[in-house]
Amino acid sequence: MTIILIDTSIFCNVLNIPNRNQDRTAVLHRLAEYLDPQSGCTLLLPLATIIETGNHIAQQPDRFRVANRFVEQVRQALAGESPFVATPALDRDTLESLLDQFPDFAKRGIGLGDCAIIAEFERQCQLHPQKRIVIWSLDQHLSSYAREP
């Protein structure tokens, strides 16, 4: 069993957001593999991914159409009608911890959204010690997060 956290770079390709979908064919191919019932994968959609993707959509020329597609996908995730499962919002303690760590991440060029995805990765590792946990991302610094049981 594998838990896969979806990064913004992946979600943008899935939603086919212009200028953020250069790897769409490869992403959709991999997504089909993960969605195969034999794969045993659970796809998590972190709140940071949702917010970052929404920010990218707001900068698009055709933002209304893309935003509607985005809203539909996120609502389906919230309702359990999507291949993705939305993760809960950050609690106060987690946010405090992120803020403590953020200057070191920022020094390395890693934004607060990615820090929140890493925090969700760590939370999933604690919740599911017997499962493989990975961040699916096109960004090298995030894609390196993988924990074997």
Reported as a single tens digit per residue, the pLDDT across 85-104 is 999 988 899 899 999 999 99
pLDDT in the model for residue 3? 98
- The pTM assigned to this predicted structure is 0.93
Q: Which domain holds residue 108?
A: 2-147
Distance, in Å, from the CA atom of 69 to the CA atom of 17, rounded to the nearest integer, reads 10
Which CATH number does the domain housing residue 55 bear?
3.40.50.1010
pLDDT in the model for residue 108? 92
H helices within the chain, ranges in order?
8-14, 24-35, 47-58, 63-79, 92-107, 112-127, 140-143
For residue range 103-119, what is the model confidence (pLDDT) as tens digits?
A: 999 999 999 999 999 99
Q: What is the mean pLDDT of residues 52-78?
A: 94
Q: How many domains does one find in the chain?
A: 1
Distance, in Å, from the CA atom of 14 to the CA atom of 34, rounded to the nearest integer, reads 13
Using DSSP, state whether 131 is helix, strand or coil. coil
